[in-house]
Amino acid sequence: MGFRVTRIDVSGANLRNFRPDLYKYGSKQYNALIGRLKRARCRATLHVVDERGRPGTISARVRDIPLATLQHVLIPGATQHSHVRPSDLAAAEQILRHNPEMARRFRSSRVQPIDWATLPFDLNASKVMFVQIVSVGKDGSVDWGAQTIENGLFPFQDFALSPAANILHYGQGGFEGMKAFRQANGDIVIFRPYENAQRMQRGAKRLVMPPIPEDRFMEAIKAAVLAQPELIPPAGSGAALYIRPFLFGSGPVLGVKPASEYTFAVFVSPVGPYFKAGFQPTSLRVETKYHRSGPGLTGDIKADGNYVVGLMAAKEAKAAGFGEILWLDAACENVEEAGAANFFCVVDNEIYTSMLTGTILPGITRDSIIQLAREFGYTVHDDAKLPLARVLQAQEAFCTGTAAVISPIGSIEHDGTKTAFFGGSEDVPENSVTSRLYKALLAIQEGRWEDSVLRGLSSQFIDRVKREWIYVLNTAG
């Protein structure tokens, strides 16, 4: 029976003394330590998939694992997942082919099928990740091409980090978020990933990290998605595959300064709607005690620290029965964002969103909605700040983002006064601007080009959207 090895775990009481990560790969000390590991009384668990597609495990002695595989084991403590490449896993597969006794130890794992309809927005499943560690030279240079994409694919696992890693103390890190969809024709696509690549480059520069070249970014996310196509939800399920690329200072520092080593990684997870209620109105509370950003800060990039500062405000709002918070600017006069999303409102059939002031994230979904609304014939005001007073006069309100797509806002409370939208209805009217934009954007992402919700869009616009917004990873058939 043949097996495909997906991951190897190593455990044993004596592992605390093994630290191959402290030595240069391939050095005498490194190889000697690996040799000691093979002689130790340690156990290995091979996570495999058999010829029938059943996942399971096989128990083995560490001494039975090929040296080519063990050379990539990182053991910073008593136990640690193996850090192995697909090519090294293949060496373990050869051992299984020639060792029937070991193969007979296969134990099938019961895997629950994914219920796409009830999937929460969370880390639900992830099997493979892309990882690349780069060092910054004395002249500031970084060799992103030193590692092939294939050699950057690893089983999803924990990182081994120095306790002095920059990210742990000074928060030198940023990330992006995007979604892959299985379209109606079976194609696997990502929505506007080049814009994510460019925004991540801007964020890296602002945080004094080496920008990831666009082609490296695209190759990494493509490899991470296509390595686990079974996690991409079926078309029409309402779920999507969330992609999380991130970059952080992994090099050790003590003083406040940029790291000299950085880790770029990508993992994915199937997700459901960001808000539990789905496309149902949520309630917001205007936040006046806390602020998410300010002039000259990092509100216009996806920096790690931007989000932790909002946790307390969100916790207090949710404890009071609200779905999210509405952020104001530092003067507490103008609306900026809603939770971690961009904010829109509709006043007398005209659409308003705040101008990009340097404190607001230039959302890719935000830009998509602005273009889509104008193509439908709506007037969109995005060239001025958005006073709270105008928002409280609106008939509709919604927020946008990769995670939420479009989420309608049913009410906003400010100073004890509640303002309701959509006529106070608990549902979003079918003929509302919010509903029309939501259905149209979803149809575009899912490739339903003949859907009636896209009527009113010119063929030229549709052609440009197909060309510039939809990145096809692979074609069905």
Give the type of residue at 203: G
What does the alpha-carbon distance between residue 135 and residue 76 come to, in Å, rounded to a whole number?
21
> Confidence class of residue 291 from pLDDT cuts 50, 70 and 90?
very high
pLDDT, tens digit, for every residue of 318-374?
999 999 999 999 999 999 999 999 999 999 999 999 999 999 999 999 999 999 999
Going by C-alpha positions, the residue among 275, 192, 267, 268 that lies closest to residue 238 is 275
pLDDT, tens digit, for every residue of 3-34?
777 666 666 544 444 444 455 556 676 667 66
- pLDDT higher at 55 or 437: 437
For the domain 282-446, what is the CATH code? 3.20.10.10
User: Is the pLDDT at 88 greater than 60, yes or no?
Assistant: no
Q: What per-residue confidence (pLDDT) applies to 91?
A: 63
The residue with tokens 């904010």 is 343
> Confidence class of residue 72 from pLDDT cuts 50, 70 and 90?
very low
The residue with tokens 């890693």 is 165
pLDDT, tens digit, for every residue of 384-441?
999 999 999 999 999 999 987 899 999 999 999 999 999 988 899 999 999 999 999 9
75-89, 130-144, 407-421: least confidently modelled range: 75-89
Count of beta carbons in the 10 Å neighbourhood of residue 354: 24
> Confidence class of residue 260 from pLDDT cuts 50, 70 and 90?
very high
> Confidence class of residue 79 from pLDDT cuts 50, 70 and 90?
very low
Q: What per-residue confidence (pLDDT) applies to 30?
A: 62
Q: What per-residue confidence (pLDDT) applies to 1?
A: 58
Q: Label residue 290 left, alpha or beta by phi (over 0 means left) and psi (-120 to 50 means alpha).
A: beta
**Phi and psi torsions of 387, nearest 5°:** -65, 145
Mean pLDDT of 244-253: 96
What does the alpha-carbon distance between residue 289 and residue 314 come to, in Å, rounded to a whole number?
12
Mean pLDDT of 279-308: 94
Return mean pLDDT, the chain.
Answer: 86
Q: What per-residue confidence (pLDDT) applies to 10?
A: 66
pTM: 0.81
Give the type of residue at 258: P
What does the alpha-carbon distance between residue 231 and residue 235 come to, in Å, rounded to a whole number?
12
Q: What per-residue confidence (pLDDT) applies to 117?
A: 85
Angle between helices 364-376 and 193-206 (to 10 degrees): 140
> Confidence class of residue 77 from pLDDT cuts 50, 70 and 90?
very low
What does the alpha-carbon distance between residue 56 and residue 46 come to, in Å, rounded to a whole number?
8
The dihedral formed by the CA atoms of 189, 194, 200 and 203, expressed in degrees to the nearest 10: -140
Burial of 331 (0-12, 13-18, 19+ CB in 10 A): exposed
302 is catalytic: yes
CATH architecture under which domain 116-271 falls: 2-Layer Sandwich (3.30)
**DSSP β-bridge partners for residue 471:** 190
DSSP codes, 244-304: EEEEEE-SB-SSSS--SEEEEEEEEEEE--SSTTSSS-EEEEEE-S--S--TTSSTTS-BH
User: Is the pLDDT at 289 greater than 70, yes or no?
Assistant: yes
What does the alpha-carbon distance between residue 5 and residue 320 come to, in Å, rounded to a whole number?
49
- Residue limits of CATH 3.30.470.10 in the chain: 116-271
Residue 9 host element (H or E):
strand 3-11
Going by C-alpha positions, the residue among 362, 400, 313 that lies closest to residue 176 is 362
> Confidence class of residue 449 from pLDDT cuts 50, 70 and 90?
very high
pLDDT, tens digit, for every residue of 182-239?
988 889 999 999 999 999 999 999 999 999 999 999 999 999 998 888 899 998 888 9
Catalytic residue among 302, 318, 418, 466: 302
What does the alpha-carbon distance between residue 175 and residue 242 come to, in Å, rounded to a whole number?
13
Q: Are the C-beta atoms of residues 358 and 314 closer than 8 Å to each other?
A: no
- pLDDT higher at 62 or 320: 320
Q: Are the C-beta atoms of residues 43 and 61 closer than 8 Å to each other?
A: yes
Give the type of residue at 28: K
Q: Tokens for 387?
A: 């006073």
Q: Tokens for 455?
A: 């009527």
Q: What per-residue confidence (pLDDT) applies to 14?
A: 47
- pLDDT higher at 252 or 86: 252
What does the alpha-carbon distance between residue 266 and residue 243 come to, in Å, rounded to a whole number?
7
- pLDDT higher at 383 or 154: 383
**End-to-end CA separation in angstroms for the chain:** 29
Q: Are the C-beta atoms of residues 338 and 324 closer than 8 Å to each other?
A: yes
Mean pLDDT of 433-455: 95
Mean pLDDT of 97-107: 72
DSSP codes, 332-363: S-EEEEETTEEEEEEETTEEE-----SSS---
Q: What per-residue confidence (pLDDT) applies to 151?
A: 77
Q: What per-residue confidence (pLDDT) applies to 228?
A: 84
